[in-house]
């Protein structure tokens, strides 16, 4: 008697769990979360072995675009039908349709993967447009100007240091001819300052042009690679079974 009671209790417990998954699947289906709905219906079927749940799962998976899972669920449902069932011809046609759409989806996914793979080198080393090359040119000129500014600044500083040694801190005891060196030092100092400002402006402008060009290229790449994976509309032509 005890084993029989235990078996009945276990069966009731499995049935209750199956009902819980069925209700969850129905809720997900109403929310448009079809993949989750299909998964819940399949789990409910696994626990209860009720064939109508396979129809629910197939419908949910098809709406989610998961044609292989829909094909599998509908094929399993067909196995439950008695020989000569009136449902069988329409179901077989629907199964063939799902198989074709699953194959089409696999083909499109393979093409998309190949396209992404082919574009990887372009992403790692993007081609520059006219703004990008202008930015590179301006940036290079800016760096060259900064280097020149540093060189002239060091030269001016060297002249100033030499004059300070010769003329003293007050500059009152400079020998004849030192005025020319002082003038040259001041000119170099002004050139260094001007070159520094120009170099910084060119470098900043070049960086801005380069960034803008890369943003434009990124937008073009995203637009060109915006594939739409759609294996075609379809519906099982059945209504969701709402009773458990």
What count of other Cβ atoms lies within 10 Å of the Cβ of residue 191?
A: 16
**222-239 as b/e: b if 16+ CB within 10 A:** eeeeeeeeebeebebebe
What count of other Cβ atoms lies within 10 Å of the Cβ of residue 22?
A: 25
Give pTM, 2 decimals: 0.51
The pLDDT value recorded for residue 225 is: 43
* Domain edges within the chain: 2-121, 128-224
d(CA 73, CA 54): 5
Which range (91-100, 197-206, 212-221) has the least confidence?
212-221
The pLDDT value recorded for residue 32 is: 95
Q: Is the pLDDT of residue 229 over 50?
A: no
Closest CA to 242 of 43, 55, 62, 85: 55
Architecture of the domain whose range is 2-121:
Alpha Horseshoe (1.25)
């Amino acid at each position: 008697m005890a084993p029989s009671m235990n078996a009945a209790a276990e069966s009731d417990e499995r049935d209750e769990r199956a009902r819980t998954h069925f209700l969850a699947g129905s809720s997900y289906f109403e929310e448009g979360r079809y993949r989750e709905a299909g998964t819940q219906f399949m789990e409910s079927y696994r626990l209860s072995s009720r064939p109508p749940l396979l129809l629910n799962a197939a419908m949910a998976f098809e709406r989610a675009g998961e044609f292989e899972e829909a094909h599998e669920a509908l094929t399993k449902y067909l196995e439950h039908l008695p020989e000569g069932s009136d449902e069988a011809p329409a179901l077989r046609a629907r199964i063939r349709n799902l198989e074709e759409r699953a194959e089409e989806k696999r083909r499109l996914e393979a093409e998309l993967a190949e396209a992404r793979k082919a574009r990887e080198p372009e992403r790692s080393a993007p081609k520059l447009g006219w703004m990008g090359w202008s930015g590179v040119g301006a940036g290079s000129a800016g760096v060259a100007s900064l280097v020149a500014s540093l060189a002239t600044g060091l030269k001016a500083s060297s002249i100033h240091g030499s004059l300070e040694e010769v003329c003293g801190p007050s500059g009152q005891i400079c020998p004849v001819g030192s005025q020319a060196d002082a003038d040259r030092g001041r000119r170099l100092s002004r050139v260094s300052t001007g070159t520094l400002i120009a170099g910084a402006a060119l470098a900043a402008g070049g960086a801005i042009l380069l960034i803008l060009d890369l943003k434009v290229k990124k937008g073009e790449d995203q637009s060109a690679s915006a594939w739409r994976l759609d294996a075609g509309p379809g519906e099982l032509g059945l209504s969701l079974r709402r009773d458990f």
